[in-house]
Structure 1
Amino acid sequence: MTEIMDIVSLPTEQLLSVESLDYSNSYNYKTPHRHNYFEIILVNEGEGHQFIDFQKYSLSKGSIYLVYPGQVHLLRRNQANGLLLQFKKDIFEFIFPIRHYDLFFKQAELKLKLKDFELLHQLFKQIEILNLNQDSTHLSFCKIYSYLEIILITLIENQSTGVFFDQVNFSAKFILAVGENIKTKRKVVEYAELLSLPKDKLTAICKKTFGKTPLKIIHEELLLEIKREMILNEASLKEISYDFNFNNPANFSKFIKSNTGKSASELKAELLTLYNL
């Protein structure tokens, strides 16, 4: 099996960076990996493709993508060129009131109007210039944070669904809570308690925002995290089942079968084939 890298990090002292799409990575980007930071990919021209959480996306001129921390990523640049904006979750301390969970979008590929794409490209370049300046001042960093805030606001505005903000806010917090607790909490009522919401209200918000019940979302997130472990972890299926707190491997296999129509071993083989591993 090809060596698989798990978590990729930015340098400890670095909150943000802008790189060209063809920059010299410090890790093997040709194998599946996960970042512990956000990555916004802006493609100027050329072509290629990438996988973000097992979904294949073509790279083409004018396209933009958001990779969230923890997502499985594999980028095949080919002839594509553009810019990468990478930033840690800690940076949200400086761009209040935007929160990292405001960036929970339904799709990794973001559709923007040409004028918005050009604006983001200009802001990426401005951040790059300021970031490379050896004589940066406190005001320089204020500019960087302001430019980043405009970028994120632009993305959020373009992904607006017309759902009331408080509903989006609660649904994003729910998704975040599920991601953080998926190995130990599987019941809707547990998440309703975490969010201090009545169970019925959480159900109504999820149906309005996602068109799904909270339980469906919990099961989807559980399956997604299991798939991530299958592709990034060389543990056996039995070990993975216990890691996710299934009572026994049989229940683990039953969950996989009911949600994919495949056995656990068939699903893992399919994922390895998808990434040519």
Structure 2
Amino acid sequence: MKVIPVLDIEQFEHKVPLTDFYSNDLCSHLQKNAAVVNKPHSHNFYLCVLFTKGNGIHEIDFNSYAVSTGSVFFLKPGQTHHWKFTNEPEGYIFFHTQDFYELHFSTSKLEQFPFFYSHKNTPSLNINTNKLAQLAPIYNAINNEYYDNLPYKKQKIASLIHTAYIDLARLYTLKTPTTETNSIAYIETLRALEKEIELNYKTEKSAQFYADRLHITAKHLNRICKATLGKTTTELITERVVLESKRLLVHSKNTMSSISENLGFKDYAYFSKVFKSKTKLTPLEFKKSYQ
């Protein structure tokens, strides 16, 4: 079955001996990798990009976000995206694996930052001119460190990323509605649920399955989902299935029936009914409307 291309860090830079981190100025990155980055694709790493100049659209998982001076975007592994620019952009971009960050900060997790906390939180942020002037030098320092061959290179890069993420998280929480709850236990359970859904959504679609995996009752899991996201467990599972359906419908040449089967539906009619309940369109109607 044809799938959306998943890009790996090692595809982007071979001269710099780091396989878990990559950085570049945005203009150079887009020029060097035009064959892959201008088409819909996903990554197996975390991505952060800062625009110091440029206009256009950044589409992430079928949601369109305006690109302008001061735009910042955060992508988690697995998210599909592509760009459409109306003029040549400038800025900085870096990728890293989860281990690259968390091995240097053993008591910190990427999920602590609101933009990586949940797929339900928006992956974009727009900062003003003053904040851009403060953040751009940090991105520039990350990029310079990446291409220099100095002692403690990884430690310096990780430290700079940590600083950038803290500054961005402060701005994000002020400007962007986020998924939050006062219960740390609820937060941890939601994170665990999202990971379980990611692993099993193609074959397991019952709330009870995920409750069993998390060793809690289905009723309590539903209570957590409602408190943190305002949705039921079943809605979260269905949304993940529908998102993958959209990706395959638009970005692959697979038949409707093969997509349905790949997502664990033995009956295409039922798959179509589930899809339409969330999108108001049949799978075929969605594919045609998107094209």
Q: Sort the TM-score into its range (normalised by shorter chain).
A: 0.7 to 0.9
Q: For residues 214-249 of structure 1, what are the alpha-carbon distances to aligned partners after superposition, in whole Å with 9 as ceiling and x for unaligned?
A: 111111111001111222322111111111111221
Q: Output the CA distance in 2 between the equivalents of 1:46 and 1:67.
A: 19
Q: How does 1:50-61 map to 2 (within 5 A)?
A: 50-61=58-69
Q: For residues 52-105 of structure 1, what are the alpha-carbon distances to aligned partners after superposition, in whole Å with 9 as ceiling and x for unaligned?
A: 011111111112111221111111233232111211233233333333444134
Give the corresponding residue for 2:98. Answer: 89
Paired residue type of 2:26: L
Deviating runs (4+, > 4 A) in structure 1? 111-119
Q: For residues 194-228 of structure 1, what are the alpha-carbon distances to aligned partners after superposition, in whole Å with 9 as ceiling and x for unaligned?
A: 22333233222222221111111111111001111
Give the corresponding residue for 1:47. Answer: 55
Quote how far apart the aligned CAs of 1:117 are: 4.4
Q: Output the CA distance in 2 between the equivalents of 1:115 and 1:189.
A: 49
Helix, strand or coil: the match of 2:65? strand
> Kindly, what percent of the aligned residue pairs are identical?
23
The gaps in structure 2 that reach 5 residues or longer are 12-17
Q: Output the CA distance in 2 between the equivalents of 1:186 and 1:194.
A: 13
Q: RMSD of the alignment, in Å?
A: 2.4
More moved, 178-187 vs 88-97: 88-97
Give the corresponding residue for 1:152. Answer: 165
Q: How does 1:1-277 map to 2 (within 5 A)?
A: 6-11=5-10, 13-23=18-28, 24-26=31-33, 27-79=35-87, 80-91=89-100, 92-102=102-112, 103-105=116-118, 106-112=121-127, 117-134=132-149, 136-137=150-151, 139-157=152-170, 158-159=172-173, 163-164=181-182, 165-271=184-290, 273=291
The gaps in structure 1 that reach 5 residues or longer are none
Quote how far apart the aligned CAs of 1:180 are: 2.0
Q: Output the CA distance in 2 between the equivalents of 1:170 and 1:119.
A: 35
Q: For residues 24-56 of structure 1, what are the alpha-carbon distances to aligned partners after superposition, in whole Å with 9 as ceiling and x for unaligned?
A: 243432221111111112111231211001111
Determine if contact 1:101/1:176 at 8 Å carries over to the other structure.
Answer: no
- How many correspondences in the alignment? 268
Helix, strand or coil: the match of 2:103? helix
More moved, 256-265 vs 156-165: 156-165
CA separation of 1:86/1:213 partners in 2, compared to 1, >3 Å: closer, same or farther? same
Q: For residues 120-157 of structure 1, what are the alpha-carbon distances to aligned partners after superposition, in whole Å with 9 as ceiling and x for unaligned?
A: 323222211111112x22x2221211222223334444
Paired residue type of 2:96: F
CA separation of 1:196/1:118 partners in 2, compared to 1, >3 Å: closer, same or farther? farther
